[in-house]
Amino acid sequence: MSLLVSLLAQQPEPVQRAVDTVTTGEVIAFWVLGPLALAGALGMLFARNAVHSALWLVLTMLSLGVLYMVQQAPFLGFVQIIVYTGAIMMLFLFVLMMVGRDSSDSVVEVIRGQRLAAALLGIGFAVLMVGSVARALTSVEPKGLAEANATNGGNVGNIGVKLFTDYLFPFELTSALLIVAALGAMILAFVGRDGKPSKKTQKELVEERFQEGKRVGSIPGPGVFATANSVATPALLPDGSVSEESLFEVIEATDKSALSEDVADVAGTGHQPDPHALKGSES
């Protein structure tokens, strides 16, 4: 992280630097961040735990983001960190945590021909990657961003201009694609309320409760207004009768003789302590 700070500190330099040269700092940064990114990618593949796998991927993305910053594209670097590590990987983690830490990978082929399709697509992707990397290594002339960053409002301004003039159509197309995907996800995940009345508000619930004329307060617990707070002791109404609502089914089903003492206590016919009781056994 201290590396990042020192790299950030170097950023204003490109203005003074007219020629695009690879500085020593950039080389060091590359040889530190490159292996880190690679390690992250390998770790992601070989980690057994899904969350560990996601964390390795975060490492790769962070390294790439810092590499972009070093290569005079600070906006791209920070957007990479905010969007990929901050939002997308966080959503991944969110889902993984919801699934639970012990869920193992399913080896059952859910979609027919899934493995074959995956293998074909994987090979195709590898061919594309190798092709583009080979082209980048041989025929592409490396060109730094120092010149572009020094004109026309700097890095951010240039990206904005390009995005909203030359590349407006692909940009809008991409956003349309994302919106369609988001809407599709919403439709798939939406549980409709067809026919069901909408959820009642708190106010409606309160009014309903009063209008039905039923009990408004809570049901009395056992032992309210009673001589003991045992569940076996039913609540008493103010006139001394037992409140039916406080009776507990299980206890009602038990043999009455087992409860005779409590019954006597409730009925007020049990042992009544007199003032002498306070003095204990000496009474």
Partner 1 sequence: MTKYLAADIGDTAKLLADDPIWLILIKVVGIFAFLVVMTLFMINWERKVVARMQHRPGPNRVGPNGWLQSLADGLKLAFKEDIRPVLADKWVFFLAPVISCIPAFLAFSVIPLAGEVNLFGQQTALQLVDLPVGVLVVLACSSLGVYGIVLSGWASGSPYPLLGALRSAAQVISYEIAMGLSIVAVIMFTGSLSTGDIVNAQASTVLGVLPGWFGILLFPSFVIYVVSMVGETNRAPFDLPEAESELVGGFHTEYSSLKFALFFLAEYVNMVTVSALATTLFLGGYKAPWSGEFMNTGWWGLLWFIGKTLFFLFLFIWLRGTLPRLRYDQFMKLGWKVLVPTSLVWIMAVAVIRTGAIQQLSTAQRLIALGVVVGLVLLVSFLLPDKKVQDTKGVPLAGSGFPVPPLDLVVPKAAPKRKVKVANIPKDDQVLAAAPTAKEAE
Does residue 248 bind partner 1 (CB under 8 A)? no
Using the rule CB under 8 A, give the single segment among 114-122, 132-140, 172-180, 236-244 that binds partner 1: 236-244
Cα 123 to Cα 33, 46, 110, 130, 161, distances in angstroms: 27, 20, 21, 10, 37
Half-sphere exposure of 225 (CA within 13 A, CB side): 12
Q: Which among 132-140, 154-162, 175-183, 186-194 is the span making contact with partner 1, rule CB under 8 A?
A: 154-162
Of 157, 140, 141, which is closest to residue 149 (Cα–Cα)? 157
Residue 120 or 206 with smaller CB distance to partner 1: 206
Out of 82, 99, 116, 127, the residue judged to bind partner 1 by CB under 8 A:
82
87 part of the interface to partner 1, by CB under 8 A = yes
Q: Is 144 exposed, middle or buried (0-12, 13-18, 19+ CB in 10 A)?
A: middle
Indicate whether 232 belongs to the interface with partner 1 (CB under 8 A).
no
Find the binder of partner 1 among 112, 269, 274, 275 (CB under 8 A): 269
**3, 11, 32, 224: residue in contact with partner 1 (rule CB under 8 A):** 11
Q: Taking the CA atoms of 216, 220, 224 and 229 in sequence, report the sign of the dihedral they define.
A: negative
Nearer to partner 1, 113 or 280 (CB): 280
- Output the furthest CA–CA distance in the chain (Å, rounded): 111
Q: How far apart are CA 71 and CA 8, in angstroms?
A: 12
Considering only 30, 78, 167, 225, the residue that binds partner 1 (CB under 8 A) is 78
Tokens of 151: 């004109």
Backbone angles phi, psi at 52, to 5 degrees: -60, -40
Question: Looking at 22, 121, 133, 156, which residue binds partner 1 (CB under 8 A)?
Answer: 156
Q: Does 42 bind partner 1 (CB under 8 A)?
A: no
Nearer to partner 1, 143 or 276 (CB): 276
- How many helices (H) and strands (E) are present in the chain, helices listed first? 12, 0
User: Is 250 a binder of partner 1 (CB under 8 A)?
Assistant: no
Q: Indicate the Cα dihedral angle 275, 279, 282, 283, nearest 10°.
A: 0
Q: Please say which residue, 90 or 121, places its beta carbon nearer to partner 1.
A: 90
List Cβ neighbours of 253 (8 Å cut-off, separation of 6 or more).
none
Query: Which stretches of the chain bind partner 1, using CB under 8 A?
Result: 1, 4-6, 8-9, 11-13, 15-16, 49, 51-52, 55, 58, 74-75, 78-79, 81-82, 85-87, 90-91, 93-94, 97-98, 101, 150-157, 160-161, 203, 206-207, 210-211, 213, 234, 240-242, 244, 247, 256, 260-261, 263-264, 266-267, 269-271, 277, 280-281, 283
